[in-house]
Copies of this chain bind each other. A is one copy, B any other.
C-alpha cells in the first residue's frame, strides 16, 4: 500500500518577497536556506526549513503565469500543501480508484528528477495538494 510519509512543505504566494522575508526570516528567525529564481515557473522562491518540513514563499515574477493569476484573484496566502509519498504511481492509482479528481493523472518530473502530481481541491476540502516522491 502506498503511504504518505511526511509533510514536505507549505507553499505561500506572496506579493513582495523582501517584505515577506522581514517576517519569516527576520522576525520569526527561520533560516533562509535558499532564495532561488525559477524562470521555468516565472517565479522567485524562498526556502525556509522548519524541522524536516519547509515553508516556501513563492513570488510571481511575471503577470501571466498561473501563480500570478492566482495571486491577482485570491490574494496572498497559503497556496498548496505538499505531502511526501513512498510510491506516487501507486498512490495515484489508489486515488483514481476512489474517484478523487486529479490535476495530474500521471506523475510529472521536476528538473532534479523528483516526481510530483497535484490533486484537485474539489476532492480535498478546498486544498490544492501536491504529492511528492523524493526517492
A interface, CB within 8 angstroms of B: 1-7, 10, 12-16, 19-20, 22-24, 26-30, 50-53, 55, 57, 75-78, 81, 83, 91, 94-95, 98, 100, 121, 123-127
Contact = CB atoms under 8 A, between A and B. Distances in A.
Contact of A29 (B4, B29, B81, B123): B4
B51 A30 contact: no
Nearest to A100: B27
Given A16-B125, A28-B83, 7 more contacts: A2-B29, A7-B50, A7-B51, A23-B123, A27-B100, A27-B123, A53-B53
Q: How many copies does the complex hold?
A: 2
A124 B23 contact: yes
Contacts of A12: 125-127
A16 B10 CA distance: 23
A123 to B, nearest CB: 5
B20 A125 contact: yes
Contacts of A5: 51
Contacts of A75: 126
Given A24-B124, A51-B7, A78 B81 contact: yes
Given A24-B124, A78-B127, A50 B83 contact: yes
B126 A50 contact: no
